[in-house]
Chain A
């Protein structure tokens, strides 16, 4: 069966559509994470989701729903709490991460919850997406694109220097909290839909590659989307051709793009020095 023929299957069509959406929009969230040094937040959300899932299993409520709800509430609360405690969001994420993990394990142990069932919330599968999943990915992608388009200059100021954004009279806190909320929302939803492993492929790696070669924030957003799209589609294709796991293949392609960008930058800086 050829690659083109596989596109007749709904699961492949769904995967491709999800890659088109997530590939373009999610790397923009990666640019936020890298610029604001929020990598711990991504891990914190995974553990918050685990606790939500464990509570869901204990209460016999849909664990996915409760996991998502916990993530959304946490991402809304993290900004204001860090402000009150005068702690960076990164540090507070570490606190959330360890606390929620400990609570989840206590609950799993005491309530005799099947461990694999609880951890199931962390593992999605891009080849098993439903129409509803696609709508969710599409909506979040659209929200990210609209936010970046409408508030580009505010986002630029905050990513560059939050103190300067405040000093020039922008509502810096509001936008910072909005960024954290969107980040939490994206990670929470995509974790279930495309899996914890694939989040990095879509969110962080294309953004890392883009920052290596960009000379403006607009370029960073553009290249991160381009690389997200490229690694997603090429990864999906190669995973079919070589019969290897899709998530891992997408990550491998994204990693190769990073290596390529690094070599390009090195070449460009040598050329500048010689010139």
Chain B
């Protein structure tokens, strides 16, 4: 069986800074993998490598059986990867919650095509899965930080991804909201049989949810669980 994610000997240099120096990470289908490390350890960089938005200086990246170095355009693959960024746009952009979640379907709908009823249904299922259906008509920027994070999660779910990438999904939240978000992520991970790769600086928070935990330190990756 293919690994869902397979990073081998990844080297990344950003300007004169060596961010990753030979990192190896594997995730089998349906595994929940966490990558922990201090701020600036290269966690977000790692997610960008998996999503194909950042090419490694050297090393091999396989995602869902595809060698990313063989493709110039990775949009087909990104449609199967849900991404929850650390912080989405918080500018007062006029977009309702339901529209922001429907956006997860845009890649799959195709160019110049309008969303169909099934796309809206999937968006509403995602809203329900993260428990924010009641906010569907509100504007995204009117919500609290925790609620906005749930919108981002719902958008990633509406995409019906095979892989879920989460970049510090609890950073700006209070303790109660952190646990709530992690519980939702964990439930969804099992229900939808996703391969989940979560990066966080909080190793204690992710401990109980993760099948494997990698520590990123000084550019190297260490399997610690």
Interface residues of A (CB under 8 A from B): 35, 150-151, 153-154, 156-157, 159-161, 163-171, 211, 214-217, 219-220
A163 and B107 within 8 A (CB): no
Q: How many residues of B contact A (CB 8 A)?
A: 34
Q: A151-B111, A164-B85, A166-B53 are in contact. Are A214 and B75 (CB under 8 A)?
A: no
A169 to B160, CA, bound (A): 13
B79 and A169 within 8 A (CB): yes
Q: Which B residues lie within 8 Å of A157 (CB)?
A: 103, 106
Selected A-B contacts with CB under 8 Å, 9 pairs? A160-B100, A164-B85, A164-B103, A168-B79, A168-B104, A169-B77, A169-B78, A169-B107, A215-B96
Q: Which listed residue (B94, B108, B159) contacts A211, Cβ 8 A?
A: B94
A150 to B82, CA, bound (A): 25
A151 to B109, CA, bound (A): 12
Q: Which B residues lie within 8 Å of A168 (CB)?
A: 78-79, 103-107, 155, 159
B75 and A216 within 8 A (CB): no
The smallest C-beta distance from B145 to any residue of chain A, in angstroms, reads 16
B115 and A153 within 8 A (CB): yes
Q: Which A residues lie within 8 Å of B81 (CB)?
A: 167
B94 and A219 within 8 A (CB): yes
Q: Main SS of the interface on chain B?
A: mixed
- Does any Cβ of A come within 8 Å of B36's Cβ? no
Extra contacts, 18 of them, besides A160-B103, A164-B155, A216-B96 (Cβ < 8 A), are: A35-B93, A151-B112, A153-B114, A160-B93, A160-B100, A161-B88, A164-B83, A167-B78, A168-B104, A169-B78, A169-B79, A169-B107, A171-B73, A171-B75, A211-B94, A215-B139, A216-B94, A219-B94
- Does any Cβ of A come within 8 Å of B38's Cβ? no
Using CB atoms, name the residue of chain B closest to A37: B91
- Does any Cβ of A come within 8 Å of B70's Cβ? no
B85 and A169 within 8 A (CB): no
Q: Which A residues lie within 8 Å of B112 (CB)?
A: 150-151
Using CB atoms, name the residue of chain A closest to B15: A86
Q: Which B residues lie within 8 Å of A156 (CB)?
A: 95, 99, 103
- Does any Cβ of A come within 8 Å of B144's Cβ? no
The smallest C-beta distance from B162 to any residue of chain A, in angstroms, reads 13
Q: Which B residues lie within 8 Å of A153 (CB)?
A: 103, 106, 109, 114-115
A154 to B155, CA, bound (A): 15
B93 and A159 within 8 A (CB): yes
A164 and B88 within 8 A (CB): yes
- Does any Cβ of A come within 8 Å of B76's Cβ? yes
A217 and B94 within 8 A (CB): yes
Q: A164-B88, A164-B155 are in contact. Are A217 and B95 (CB under 8 A)?
A: yes
Using CB atoms, name the residue of chain A closest to B102: A153
B94 and A169 within 8 A (CB): no
A217 to B103, CA, bound (A): 13
The 7 closest A-B pairs by CB, nearest first: A169-B107, A169-B79, A167-B83, A169-B78, A161-B89, A168-B107, A169-B75
Q: Which B residues lie within 8 Å of A169 (CB)?
A: 75-79, 106-108
B51 and A167 within 8 A (CB): yes
B89 and A170 within 8 A (CB): no
A192 to B89, CA, bound (A): 36
The smallest C-beta distance from B96 to any residue of chain A, in angstroms, reads 6
Q: Which listed residue (A151, A163, A166, A214) contacts B94, Cβ 8 A?
A: A214
The smallest C-beta distance from A42 to any residue of chain B, in angstroms, reads 19
Q: Which B residues lie within 8 Å of A163 (CB)?
A: 85
B100 and A170 within 8 A (CB): no
Q: Which B residues lie within 8 Å of A167 (CB)?
A: 51, 78, 81-83, 85
Q: Which B residues lie within 8 Å of A151 (CB)?
A: 111-112
A169 to B75, CA, bound (A): 4
